[in-house]
Copies of this chain bind each other. A is one copy, B any other.
Amino acid sequence: MSLSGEISGGVHRLDIRVYYEDTDHSGWVYHANYLKFCERGRSETLKLVGIEHKALERQDLFFIVRHMMCDFKAPAQIDDIVTVETRFKQASGARFVLDQQVMLDDKAVFQADVTLAMVNCEGRPQRIPREILDAMPQT
């Protein structure tokens, strides 16, 4: 698997190793770090379909997270390899909805419904460019 993961059957998959920095005192992954893992999955999905944050930014376009519904289902530990699965659900106007799961040995340890918004540098909603919508992996 490349650094950018891979797309297959409408799903982007990215393998991530759990390091010391990801764990906390409980011995498990610190809860907020699953959101980082999901963001890596989204960045690599965009990268694989040809969209770079830096390029978006030159057009004064940024994706921001608007809403997340998060289920912390089971723990992951240091040395584990987890897989972030990213599924594109729908888009309309400035909004973009994804389903993301962090899998460990075929079991979801984290699941999130994620709503992104596209904004400009002043935070105003911007219509998501057609080429981004067309490029997203479809199930």
* Total copies of the chain: 4
Besides the known contacts A35-B35, A54-B78, A75-B123, 19 further A-B residue pairs in the complex with CB atoms under 8 A apart: A1-B3, A17-B43, A20-B26, A20-B39, A20-B43, A21-B32, A21-B40, A24-B24, A25-B27, A25-B53, A25-B78, A31-B64, A32-B35, A32-B36, A47-B79, A53-B79, A66-B71, A68-B69, A69-B69
Residue A67, interface by CB 8 Å:
yes
Residues of B within 8 A of A101 (CB): none
Inter-chain CA distance A26–B40, complex, in Å, is 16
Q: Which range holds the interface residue count of chain A?
A: 35 or more
Residues of B within 8 A of A123 (CB): 74-75
